[in-house]
Amino acid sequence: MIRIGMIGIGGFGAVHLGAARQMEKENRARLVAVADQRIATLPESEALRRGGVACYAGHVELLDRHPELSLITLPLPIMLHAPLTIECLRRGFHVLVEKPPAPTVAEVVSMIAAAREAGRHCGVGFQYSASRFLRAVRDTVASGRLGRITHVSGLAMAQRMDVYYARSPWAGKITLDGNPVRDGSLNNPCAHTAQLLLACAGQGERPVARPVSLQAEFFAGHDIETEDTCSIRATLDTGAIFHFTTSLCAHQNVLDLAIRGTKGRIAWSLGQPAAQFVASDGSAVELPPLDGSTTDLFRNFMDVLDGRAPRLLCPVEDTLSFAELVEQAFTSTRVVHLHGTPHARREAGATPPETRTFIADIESFARKAFEEGRLFSELGAPWARGGEGRG
């Protein structure tokens, strides 16, 4: 029986708790101990104690008291991912850290090195790594039916109320107390899609393509330091073009994917029961839709530790490309702040924390950017300016 410890049970920690409980139902693992600095006030702690789970206010005590643990999961604030991951690995534990892996490339490199030196597995919680859609894209490429991938494109839009950015001191920040955070649509809620696109573009022994050069444009409709809306175009080391458009200032949830090759195109949109592969001769085949969950990643980790699977679906080394994409984007452009201008409209909710922000015509400009592979400034969006290129 695999024994699990968890550091951080508030916020997204609830999702990790749910996944751990599911592993218990499947008789794959047992949740032994949790740690959270707010453990005394979290409502979950009492139920955990009644269920025999040891609860601690500090992670060091958890690690000291439970050397028998196999896996530590880390649903923590972004800036804590690297230091806690490295500490746990060096103490001999396998680690599943929530996405993104870390704010900087240097930290991700250190995490990779720590895992290798310790001889332990380190996975990252990019849920779409477990998706049937990704497997179908890779199978279609391997069969030769799609040809060489030339473009990978994504459009991700959602709405975040003010309470989203008020939930923690690091939310909406590029740095906190002088340390990189790089929170934002790209590096947090829409990160799963960016990682997926890089994975779809991978080839052969390079399961995830890496950015060689890029252009990025960042905008903020909310009153925050970081971006909540972005447009990125990059050339990858495989020769494919990566294009990604996001916004958290939209009226509705949107997620569109397009994978184009020399022999056809694969596309999927949120709400569709299946993806479509349309070959250059016009023939069409249905493929699995986008899915994947934290529970799937937990199950895969159990399979690896039990010897049933040869490899994690998203090992930390596969996330270096994503970290490079984020770092290149954040260091190549500045955020254009739209809060307080006519371009960002505020809409009051039932309470102040429920106030929403919308960028003017974001849906139409984002849709056009996705379909044409262009940046917001190239489309003439009145609130956009060109991002500085970096290559």
E-assigned strands of 221-287? 229-236, 241-247, 249-261, 264-269, 275-279, 284-287
2-127 is a CATH 3.40.50.1400 domain: no
Q: Contact at 8 Å (CB) between 263 and 219? A: no
Predicted confidence (pLDDT) per residue in 117-157, tens digit = 999 999 999 999 999 999 999 999 999 999 999 999 999 99
Task: Quote the mean pLDDT of the chain.
Answer: 96
pLDDT at 388 over 70: no
Confidence of residue 390 (pLDDT cuts 50, 70, 90): very low
Range(s) for CATH 3.30.360.10 in the chain? 132-290+315-390
Residue 387 has pLDDT above 60, yes or no: no
Report the C-alpha gap between 216 and 129 in whole angstroms: 24
Q: For residues 230 and 366, give the distance between their C-alpha atoms in angstroms, rounded to a whole number.
A: 9
Reported CATH class of domain 132-290+315-390 = alpha beta
Q: What is the pLDDT of residue 352?
A: 86
User: What's residue 389's pLDDT?
Assistant: 40
pTM equals 0.96
Average pLDDT over residues 240-257: 98
Q: 179-231: per-residue pLDDT in tens? A: 999 999 999 999 999 999 999 999 888 899 999 999 999 999 999 999 999 99
* Residue type for position 6: M
Q: What is the DSSP string of 55-88?
A: EESSHHHHHHH-TT--EEEE---GGGHHHHHHHH
314-362 pLDDT, tens digit per residue, is 999 999 999 999 999 999 999 999 999 999 999 998 888 899 999 999 9
Q: Which part of the chain has CATH 3.40.50.720?
A: 2-127
Q: Is the pLDDT of residue 385 over 80?
A: no
Residues 6+ apart with CB under 8 A from 268: 133, 256, 257, 274, 275, 276, 287, 289, 290
Q: Which helix (H) or strand (E) holds 390?
A: strand 389-390
Of the pLDDT bands very low, low, confident and very high (cuts 50, 70, 90), residue 308 is very high
Residue keyed to tokens 């490079």: 324
